[in-house]
Amino acid sequence: TQLLEQSPQFLSIQEGENLTVYCNSSSVFSSLQWYRQEPGEGPVLLVTVVTGGEVKKLKRLTFQFGDARKDSSLHITAAQPGDTGLYLCAGDKTSYDKVIFGPGTSLSVIP
Amino acid sequence: DTAVSQTPKYLVTQMGNDKSIKCEQNLGHDTMYWYKQDSKKFLKIMFSYNNKELIINETVPNRFSPKSPDKAHLNLHINSLELGDSAVYFCASSQSGEGTGTYEQYFGPGTRLTVT
């Protein structure tokens, strides 16, 4: 069993549509990070959320940390082909000395 | 300037060979990692070094041996390569400490290893 689950696993949408991807766990995390990985490249950090209920915005991307710090969501408004990629959430706990990655959501935005 | 660099980008080799992957970071971070990403894109940590000291060693075959000559470099040597070692290997770095930003990972471009 994975510590972090992500849904959906795959998502294919038309340009201009909105979407939400989810990152869920039964564990409490000190913080949650979101990364985007494009084909042939390494993951790139998008945001870190720390406080329960926290909402952060990055242009058309909105990230929310659950009140209980067990889950997070990423909402993309008016998706563009440049948003295509693998979205990974990762959680850290003080006791872990590392981050744990979810399995990812593969997003394809069709022009 | 590239923050985290890896060489080589691609590595094709035969079963039984020994190969190395090199990683360097110029971010001034004190912690470096090796991850393996399999064909299903799952990213799994293999090793972590903090100031040249091994702090995480996940369940990885002994054929994999990391070495950190200084805190800016972390190399990965693999002995007796097997078909199942084929994957993309990512190096990453982070700055340890208290508070927000701890463990935020900065990844290299990856090394695609193909064992034939």
Q: Is A78 in CB contact (< 8 Å) with chain B?
A: no
Residue A60 C-alpha, separation from nearest chain B C-alpha, in angstroms: 22
Q: Please, which residues 24-63 of chain A have a Cβ atom closer than 8 Å to chain B?
A: 30-31, 33, 35, 37, 40-45, 48, 50
Burial of A78 (0-12, 13-18, 19+ CB in 10 A): exposed
Percent of chain A with pLDDT over 90: 84
Mean pLDDT of chain A: 93
Residue carrying the six token digits 């199942």: B84
B11-40: burial string, b at 16+ Cβ within 10 Å, e else = bebeeeeebebbbbbeeebbbbbbbbbeee
The pLDDT assigned to B81 comes to 97
Pick from A33, A35, A42: CB nearest B108: A42
Q: How large is the average pLDDT for residues A30-57? A: 95
Contacts of A5 in chain B (CB under 8 A): none
Positive or negative CA dihedral for A47, A52, A56, A61? positive
Nearest CA in chain B to A2: B42
Residue A59 C-alpha, separation from nearest chain B C-alpha, in angstroms: 20
Q: How large is the average pLDDT for residues A20-47? A: 94
Confidence of residue B100 (pLDDT cuts 50, 70, 90): low
Helix, strand, coil % in chain B, rounded to nearest 5: 5, 55, 45
Q: Is B10 in CB contact (< 8 Å) with chain A?
A: no
Mutate to test the interface with B, among A31, A36, A46, A63 (most CBs of B within 10 A): A31
Contact A98 B41 (CB under 8 A): no
The pLDDT assigned to B53 comes to 85
The pLDDT assigned to B110 comes to 97
Instruction: State yes or no: pLDDT of B101 exceeds 80.
Output: no
Contact B101 A35 (CB under 8 A): no
The number of C-alpha atoms within 13 Å of A76 and in the hemisphere containing its C-beta is: 25
Contact A92 B56 (CB under 8 A): no
Element housing B107 (H / E): strand B106-107
Residue B103 C-alpha, separation from nearest chain A C-alpha, in angstroms: 6
Nearest-angstrom CA–CA distance, B67 and B87: 20
Instruction: State yes or no: pLDDT of A42 exceeds 90.
Output: yes
- pLDDT: which is higher, B66 or B101: B66
Cβ atoms of residues B42 and A106 within 8 Å:
no
Instruction: State yes or no: pLDDT of A78 exceeds 90.
Output: yes
Residue B19, both tokens: 């190969």
The pLDDT assigned to B55 comes to 83
Span B22-81, pLDDT tens digits:
999 999 998 999 999 998 889 999 999 988 888 888 888 999 999 999 999 999 999 999
